[in-house]
Amino acid sequence: MVSVFPATPLGFSALEFENAVKELENPQTEGFEFFTESHDVKIYKLYNEESGLYVYKIYGILKDVLPETCADVYMDLKYRKTWDTYAKELEEIEDGEKKLIYWNVNYPFPMWNRDYVYQRELRELESHGSKVWVVLSESDSSSKIPEKSGVIRVSDFKQSAALMTDGKNGTKAFMQYYDDPKGAIPTWLINWVAKKGVPEFLTMMEKACKGYPEYLK
């Protein structure tokens, strides 16, 4: 039984949050291809025939880090700019009556950076007596935020993440991710991001979670 705590509704349905919880508790990988495993992280992929890109599902454990701390770190944009070397710009901005996230991502030379404008929502749910933190993110096609010269706007992006205790002192995590970065992205870079970049990011986040109490001081 999954129950959703009261939250301010954005463009996400209760079912989307519930599905993220189900994925965390019972991985749904049918139809997906096992891609790689590294440092307590397993990654699966599903080919999208329309775009020629992949949807990724990531399952992992962050050791010695509580899920509530992970959720706080995941949502804290100012803190992320201190530890995520790929985030050139990251901030919450006003777009009419909406609050959106603007994210400019460093890409290796000679490729242009990519930027994202997306909505994001955190909800705290309860499942089988355990608390689960779920964050959904999706690009906002109605945004009036102008594109920047020399930066490619990613208009097709969707991500879900769910966090709960691993039953010990760590966090059990699930993430599903898809985006279309546009342009001529070399195959080696796409493979690197999936195989190396995701585990590397989770390692950086684990370290950031452990340093969060000191940062708050």
Residue 211 has pLDDT above 60, yes or no: yes
Q: Is the dihedral of CA 79, 85, 88, 94 positive or negative?
A: negative
- Give the residue with greater pLDDT, 13 vs 8: 13
Supply the range of the domain harboring residue 97. Answer: 2-216
Q: Which amino acid is present at 52? A: G
Residue 2 clears pLDDT 60, i.e. is over it: no
Q: CA 51, CA 41: separation in Å to the nearest integer?
A: 26
Which residue is associated with the tokens 């890109």? 53
Query: How far is residue 71's CA from residue 61's CA, in Å, rounded to a whole number?
Result: 14
The sign of the CA dihedral 158, 61, 18, 25 is positive
User: Is residue 1's pLDDT more than 70?
Assistant: no
Task: Report the Cα–Cα distance between both ends of the chain, in Å, rounded.
Answer: 38
* C-beta of residue 139 within 8 angstroms of C-beta of residue 157: yes
Residues 173 and 161: beta-carbon distance below 8 Å: yes
Question: How many domains does the chain contain in total?
Answer: 1
∠160-24-180 over CA atoms, to 5°?
30
pLDDT in tens, 90-127: 999 988 788 899 999 998 878 899 999 999 999 999 99
Does residue 9 carry a pLDDT above 60? no
Q: Which of 33-37, 94-98, 160-164 has the highest mean pLDDT?
A: 160-164
Q: What is the CATH number of the domain that holds 188?
A: 3.30.530.20
Q: Locate 26 and state its tokens.
A: 């019972």
DSSP 191: H
Q: 74: helix, coil or strand?
A: helix
* Longest CA pairwise span in the chain (Å): 50
d(CA 83, CA 204): 7
Q: What is the mean pLDDT of residues 190-197?
A: 73
Q: What is the pLDDT of residues 63-73, one digit of tens each?
A: 899 999 999 99
